[in-house]
Amino acid sequence: MQNTAIINEILFEDGYLSSDDVLRDWSVMIALSKIDQYRAEKESFENKYKKSFDSYEKDIHAVKGKEDFGKENDLEDWEFACKALIWWEDKLRALRNA
């Protein structure tokens, strides 16, 4: 119980009225960090292949009978980065609108 009082006192001194405010701000910081991470990964692939994900995906699927596992792995990683970026951006918008 004493720890809770000390924590609340520290948070109040820093301008927080509740632990929910701290959790919201911390969640925003996490989301911003993830957005930076996945945006950088997405841009890295765009720079590497000099095209958008959709264009790259179309090119990979157009080739029949020849697999390039490195390019397939990049496609999967790129797709994950794109989807993760959208997910985190949606969560950040929701946090900011709450």
- SS3 (DSSP) at 50: coil
Query: Does residue 51 sit within a domain?
Result: yes
pLDDT of residue 29: 97
pLDDT along the chain (98 residues), means of 10: 85 89 94 98 98 96 86 96 98 93
3-state helix, strand, coil in the chain (%, to 5): 85, 0, 15
pLDDT of residue 2: 85
pLDDT of residue 54: 97
Q: How many domains does the chain have?
A: 1
pTM > 0.85: no
Query: Does residue 7 sit within a domain?
Result: no
Q: What is the residue range of 39's domain?
A: 17-97
Query: Does residue 6 sit within a domain?
Result: no
To the nearest 10°, report the CA torsion of 82, 53, 71, 90.
0
Which residue in this structure is represented by tokens 């945006």?
A: 39
Query: Does residue 31 sit within a domain?
Result: yes
Q: Write down how long the chain is.
A: 98
Query: Does residue 2 sit within a domain?
Result: no
Contact between 52 and 42 (Cβ < 8 Å): no
* Backbone dihedral angles phi then psi of residue 18, each to the nearest 5 degrees: -155, 160
Neighbours of 75 (CB within 10 A): 19
Read off the DSSP letter of residue 51. S
